[in-house]
Amino acid sequence: MPLVTSTEMFKKAYEDHYAVGAFNVNNMEIIQGIVDAAKQEQSPLILQVSAGARKYAKHVYLMKLVEAAVADTGLPICLHLDHGEDFEICKACVDGGFTSVMIDGSKHPFEENIAITKKVVEYAHSKGVVVEAELGKLAGVEDAVKVNTKDATYTDPDQAVEFVERTGVDSLAIAIGTSHGAYKFKGKPELDFARLEKITNLLPGFPLVLHGASTVIPAFVDECNKYGGKLDGAQGVPEDMLLKAGKYGVCKINIDTDLRLAMTASVRKYLSEHPADFDPRTYLKSARQAIQDMVAHKIKNVLNSSNRL
């Protein structure tokens, strides 16, 4: 089974009102933990690689590890570039075997975002690769709760329609109140579901993407803190909100922070409880299991994507 694009995954997810998890990968243990959970749950999945991950592990290592995961599990895996910032990195990933790329032009003015996205779409489509773009700005923690900044930063529904029509992009990341990292909300978590519903209604059948969608599960934050971490005030998107988003045309939910927290909590705990152990295989084995358990939890409770292969 070769790597696949997300086209069929999104079609099924849209029709049956669930979402596909897109998990960030940086090394072998993370990849193994994720794919073992997907296999156990018979769930579709996307493995995504950021520019930082490519720099850390090198493109060729990640590519070969993901190919190994396909050979080992037989799963239909989509390999995606996360937050490509220019045409060059998108082209490098298309040429280097990825089946999906994100061109993130969200920091540019509307017309520039359209132009750069269109250029990537033309190239990627000519090679059978699909493209995700982003419109609107993901909230920083300061903006997240300020109602009057919503219209300036959140995705404008009419612009979303124009953007999709003019670029020919395959999926679109939208801003409705989520943000990256472990500190998403200062007060009560809130997403703009009215805006999401409007966008979904204006773009029927079109797959939307939610970035910054980790829940920052308190038990893992507490575990990190218990063993020497310092993550005070961390807060993420509640699971019921993510499940709801999956019913409103959101076909791809991005998760990185929750994997980092699970892995780090596990390593901190293991080393603290086994101070004489310095074999990387022991604490990385426990970290890999923590990733697997976290991904299985997401598939069952957030994505609703078990038994969808």
Q: Closest separation between CB of residue 209 and Zn ion, Å?
A: 9
Tokens linked to 25: 């990968």
Smallest CA-to-CA distance from 105 within 130, 125, 83 is with 83
Q: Closest separation between CB of residue 255 and ligand 13P, Å?
A: 5
Q: How far is CA 272 from CA 142, 223, 226, 228, 279, in A?
A: 35, 12, 10, 9, 14
Identify which of residues 211 and 268 has a Cβ nearer to ligand G3H in the complex: 211
Is there binding between residue 181 and ligand 13P (CB under 6 A)? yes
Helices 157-167 and 110-126 meet at what angle, rounded to 10? Answer: 40
Question: CB neighbours (10 Å) of residue 253?
Answer: 29
Helices 193-202 and 239-246 meet at what angle, rounded to 10? Answer: 10
User: What would the x/- binding string for ligand 13P be over residues 79 to 118, using CB under 6 A?
Assistant: ---xx-----------------------------------
Contact 119, 25 (CB under 8 A): no
Helix, strand, coil % over all residues of the chain, rounded to 5: 50, 15, 35
Q: Closest separation between CB of residue 16 and ligand G3H, Å?
A: 27
Identify which of residues 35 and 237 has a Cβ nearer to ligand 13P in the complex: 237
Q: Closest separation between CB of residue 180 and ligand 13P, Å?
A: 4
Q: What's the gap between Cα 52 and its chain centre? A: 14
Is there binding between residue 26 and ligand 13P (CB under 6 A)? no
Is there binding between residue 184 and Zn ion (CB under 5 A)? no
Active-site residue (options: 16, 72, 82, 293): 82
Q: How many residues form the binding site for Zn ion (CB under 5 A)?
A: 1
Smallest CA-to-CA distance from 86 within 51, 49, 125 is with 51
Contacts of ligand 13P in 241-260 (CB under 6 A): 254-258
Handedness of CA 201, 207, 213, 214 (dihedral sign): positive
Q: Which of residues 184, 195, 211, 297 is near Zn ion by CB under 5 A?
A: 211
Identify which of residues 239 and 285 has a Cβ nearer to ligand 13P in the complex: 239
Contacts of ligand 13P in 201-240 (CB under 6 A): 211-214
Q: Closest separation between CB of residue 40 and Zn ion, Å?
A: 26
Tokens linked to 152: 């300036």
Q: How many residues form the binding site for ligand 13P (CB under 6 A)?
A: 14
Identify which of residues 26 and 307 has a Cβ nearer to ligand 13P in the complex: 26
Per DSSP, the three-state class of 39 is helix
Catalytic: 82? yes
Q: Which of residues 104, 134, 170, 256 is near ligand G3H by CB under 6 A?
A: 256
With residue 134 as reference, give the H or E element that holds it: strand 130-135
Rounded to a whole number of angstroms, the CA Rg of the chain reads: 19
The option from Zn ion, ligand G3H, ligand 13P, none interacting with 52 (CB < 5 to 8 A, set by class) reads ligand G3H
* HSE-up of residue 203 (Cα within 13 Å, Cβ side): 30
Q: Closest separation between CB of residue 79 and ligand G3H, Å?
A: 15
Q: Which residue ranges make up the site for ligand 13P (CB under 6 A)?
A: 24, 82-83, 180-181, 211-214, 254-258
Q: Which residue ranges make up the site for ligand G3H (CB under 6 A)?
A: 24, 50, 52-53, 82-83, 180, 256
Task: Supply the residues annotated as catalytic.
Answer: 82
